[in-house]
A and B are shown apart, each in its own frame.
Chain A
Amino acid sequence: MLQVSQADAKSGVQNSDFSQLDKMGMEQNSMATDKAVSPVVEIKNLSLSFETNDGPVHALSEIDLSIGRGEFVSFIGPSGCGKTTLLRAVADLEQPTGGSLLVNGVSAEEARLNRDYGYVFQAAALYPWRTIAGNIGLPLEIMGYPKAERQQRIAKNMELVNLAGFDKKFPWQLSGGMQQRASIARALSFDPELLLMDEPFGALDEIVRDHLNEQLLRLWDKTNKTVLFVTHSIPEAVFLSSKIVVMSPRPGRIYDVIDCNLPRDRSLDIRESPEFLAIAHRVREGLREGHSYDD
């Protein structure tokens, strides 16, 4: 923890963009020490099935997972294994049919009403009648931030996702990738401690994806946010995460949890290092076995 704070102070001098975030990060770090014992997300024996016309679909079963403050947890697994469903359950958008689920020590619903998390959906879902700036400011309007602070936060987050100058455009005038970046800025705008991201970079090209991966990593490093991140990309998961959860389908469950303790100030170059490749290999093995288990 001490180490992290030092890193914060150092980079805060170098990079004025993040100075605001740094301060918040330090506050959160000191808060984290007393809260460190209680996990941000605590899932015990959770199951969730959907009632459909051809019988129940068991989307999740026997999920046990505990995510501590400041962790970056990636979820990876074949399509339909329940990654989105798990994230939605944490966000109180789906109701578990069994087990228990606590977010910040309270029920998922309370956490949602406390506005504890920001959610990035699989699609951008920007409102077409609002400009990009208006879309990013939407949660701030709803949460009653004063106008001046709204504008300042909009500007800061547009900068963060490299959309500066596009504030007056409408979503349908932007490319899909730009829309997705705007939706990330929207989720970050009210600075939630917990970020739930469902394949946020799935629609982006490799270069932009790399860039945003680095940005996200720095943001996470400096602010000590907790991130739950769904992805289909093994390198992305290994690069970003402190923990990788490999899931397997029918019924959706956790196949393997892989710790991934690469240095916090890593850069993209680390993807060529042997440690990185070893973890990536283990994730790939897990995915493959999870698949064959099913056939």
Chain B
Amino acid sequence: MTFRNVLALIAAALCLLALASPLGSVAGVSLSLWDDVGLLVFALALIAAVLGIVSRKLTGGAADIVMLVLPHSGAWYLIARLGIADQDLQAGYWCLVIASWLAAWIFVDQLSAKKPKSPSLQRFYGVVVPVLFGVWLLILWETLVRGFQVPTVLLPPPSMIGARFAASTAILWADFQQTFLKAVLIGYALGCGSAFLTAILIDRVPFLQRGLLPIGNLVSALPIIGVAPIMVMWFGFDWQSKAAVVIIMTFFPMLVNTVAGLSISSQMEKDMMKTYAAGYWQSLIKLRLPSALPFIFNALKINSTLAMIGAIVAEFFGTPIVGMGFRISTEVGRMNVDMVWAEIAVAALAGTAFYGVMNVIERACTFWHPSFRNG
């Protein structure tokens, strides 16, 4: 029995269970699936669909479309019906949520069984799976938080965060500019850039290696909570002090990786440069830096994440009245958790995009490396 059939049978069983279980109650009167025609139709349709999958009556493109449309429209309807009970929702409802989740899983399983020839289709499938994963994270989050009536202070549902996001784009944009475009990007560029130059200096003047590497190590071990207030004292409240914290955080990873990368080229490759009587800078630029690129990009990617953390946390220690870290710390104090989450969403999006951009540049620059090569 295939994994897909197991999923399908469990989904069918859950739907049958839902038919016999209470959904919730209104004013003490228990509600069942038979009181809600929409959910009943959905449950029956889902049973028919998964049984069609198991019995191989539903296959090919039709199966794909059914397993894409049915669970997701069902999930949308389940969310729309979150308010049917006045107490916590009960087993019948949750059986349907889990069944539609399993049905979506079947869809993903169907997709990954396909081995498309065309690269654009491959890329499309590569995107669909993580997108569906994210969508289901949001669906489960929304239904669980609202279905169990979790206090919004603890965890607001995504719909509420989205509404807050849409209503405060002006503030979010100002915070994004202050924290990301100024502190993160400038600090990142300066931190990575100066670490890169230091690595070259260490390489050129080897005795510096013994002095500078331990100092770099020491600086990177400094706790950000201790450094941030000092930077605020030194460089003032505005973004400059945050950029300084980012510089401190990004310097060491970049330094260590670049130094390691510069030593990676093989003896034979270096000997070859020697037979051409190449000078230090020639062999640096034509051999050692290109071979160091995979290491350097490793550091650039790690640092893209570190820079976000550094800039946001540094704003907890004094800032003008704008910035993502500032907004998070003040809105938490005012119990505006939805705004906090909206800022977190901005930070997550910006951080992911930043990392993604570095990833794309890395692929363009190190296409020759065995881990990326194709054909």
Q: Is A173 an interface residue (CB 8 A)?
A: yes
The chain A residue with its CB closest to the CB of B375 is A173
Cβ contact within 8 Å between B276 and A115: yes
Query: Bound complex: CA of A225 vs CA of B70, how far in Å?
Result: 78
- From A88, A125, A129, A143, B290 is in contact (CB under 8 Å) with A129
Name the interface residues of B252-268: CB closer than 8 Å to any CB of A: 266, 268
Cβ contact within 8 Å between A128 and B286: no
Cβ contact within 8 Å between A125 and B275: no
Count of B interface residues, CB-CB < 8 Å:
22
- Say how far A188's CB is from chain B's closest CB, in angstroms: 13
The chain B residue with its CB closest to the CB of A172 is B373
Residues on B with C-beta less than 8 A from A93 are 271, 274-275
Name the interface residues of A131-183: CB closer than 8 Å to any CB of B: 138-139, 141-143, 170, 172-173
Name the interface residues of B353-375: CB closer than 8 Å to any CB of A: 366, 368-370, 373, 375
Q: Is B272 an interface residue (CB 8 A)?
A: yes
Count of A interface residues, CB-CB < 8 Å:
25
Name the interface residues of A95-148: CB closer than 8 Å to any CB of B: 112-115, 117-119, 121, 123, 125, 127-129, 138-139, 141-143
Residues on B with C-beta less than 8 A from A112 are 274-275, 277
Residues on A with C-beta less than 8 A from B282 are 142
- Say how far B14's CB is from chain A's closest CB, in angstroms: 51
Q: Is A91 an interface residue (CB 8 A)?
A: yes
Cβ contact within 8 Å between A121 and B274: no
- From A121, A141, A143, A172, B272 is in contact (CB under 8 Å) with A121
Query: Bound complex: CA of A138 vs CA of B290, how far in Å?
Result: 14
Cβ contact within 8 Å between A142 and B278: yes
Residues on B with C-beta less than 8 A from A139 are 276
- From A88, A115, A118, A142, B286 is in contact (CB under 8 Å) with A142
The chain B residue with its CB closest to the CB of A111 is B277
Residues on A with C-beta less than 8 A from B287 are 127
Query: Bound complex: CA of A172 vs CA of B371, how far in Å?
Result: 12
The chain A residue with its CB closest to the CB of B369 is A128
Cβ contact within 8 Å between B276 and A117: no
Q: Is B269 an interface residue (CB 8 A)?
A: yes
Query: Bound complex: CA of A134 vs CA of B278, how far in Å?
Result: 16
With A113-B277, A115-B277, A141-B286 as known contacts, state yes or no: A125 contacts B272, CB within 8 Å: yes
Main secondary structure of the interface of B (DSSP, over half): helix
Query: Bound complex: CA of A128 vs CA of B365, how far in Å?
Result: 12
- Say how far B157's CB is from chain A's closest CB, in angstroms: 49
Cβ contact within 8 Å between B290 and A117: no
Cβ contact within 8 Å between A123 and B268: yes
With A127-B287, A172-B368 as known contacts, state yes or no: A142 contacts B272, CB within 8 Å: no
- From B271, B286, B366, B370, A121 is in contact (CB under 8 Å) with B271
With A123-B268, A173-B375 as known contacts, state yes or no: A129 contacts B368, CB within 8 Å: yes
Query: Bound complex: CA of A287 vs CA of B293, how far in Å?
Result: 47
- Say how far B152's CB is from chain A's closest CB, in angstroms: 53
Residues on B with C-beta less than 8 A from A172 are 368, 370, 373
Cβ contact within 8 Å between B269 and A125: yes
Residues on A with C-beta less than 8 A from B369 are 128
Residues on A with C-beta less than 8 A from B278 are 142
- Say how far B262's CB is from chain A's closest CB, in angstroms: 15
Query: Bound complex: CA of A66 vs CA of B81, how far in Å?
Result: 96
- Residue interface bits B221-260, CB-to-A below 8 A is 1, else 0: 0000000000000000000000000000000000000000
Residues on B with C-beta less than 8 A from A141 are 286
Residues on B with C-beta less than 8 A from A118 are 275
Cβ contact within 8 Å between A128 and B375: no
- Say how far A45's CB is from chain B's closest CB, in angstroms: 25
Residues on B with C-beta less than 8 A from A143 are 276
Query: Bound complex: CA of A138 vs CA of B266, how far in Å?
Result: 17
Residues on A with C-beta less than 8 A from B277 are 112-115, 142
Query: Bound complex: CA of A275 vs CA of B278, how far in Å?
Result: 44
- Residue interface bits A235-271, CB-to-B below 8 A is 1, else 0: 0000000000000000000000000000000000000
- Say how far B302's CB is from chain A's closest CB, in angstroms: 23
- Say how far A124's CB is from chain B's closest CB, in angstroms: 10
With A121-B271, A128-B369, A170-B368 as known contacts, state yes or no: A142 contacts B290, CB within 8 Å: no
Residues on B with C-beta less than 8 A from A115 are 276-277
- Say how far A113's CB is from chain B's closest CB, in angstroms: 5
Cβ contact within 8 Å between B373 and A125: no
- Residue interface bits B190-225, CB-to-A below 8 A is 1, else 0: 000000000000000000000000000000000000
Counting chain A CB atoms within 10 Å of each CB, the highest count among B275, B278, B287 belongs to B275
The chain B residue with its CB closest to the CB of A121 is B268
- From A125, A128, A142, B276 is in contact (CB under 8 Å) with A142
Given contacts A123-B268, A125-B269, A127-B287, 12 further A-B contacts (CB under 8 A): A93-B271, A112-B274, A112-B275, A112-B277, A118-B275, A127-B290, A129-B290, A129-B368, A138-B276, A172-B370, A172-B373, A173-B375
**Residues of chain B whose beta carbon lies under 8 Å from any beta carbon of chain A:** 266, 268-269, 271-278, 282, 286-287, 290, 293, 366, 368-370, 373, 375
- Ordered by A's residue number, 10 sampled pairs between the chains whose C-beta atoms are within 8 Å are A92-B274, A93-B271, A93-B275, A114-B277, A118-B275, A121-B268, A121-B271, A125-B269, A127-B287, A139-B276
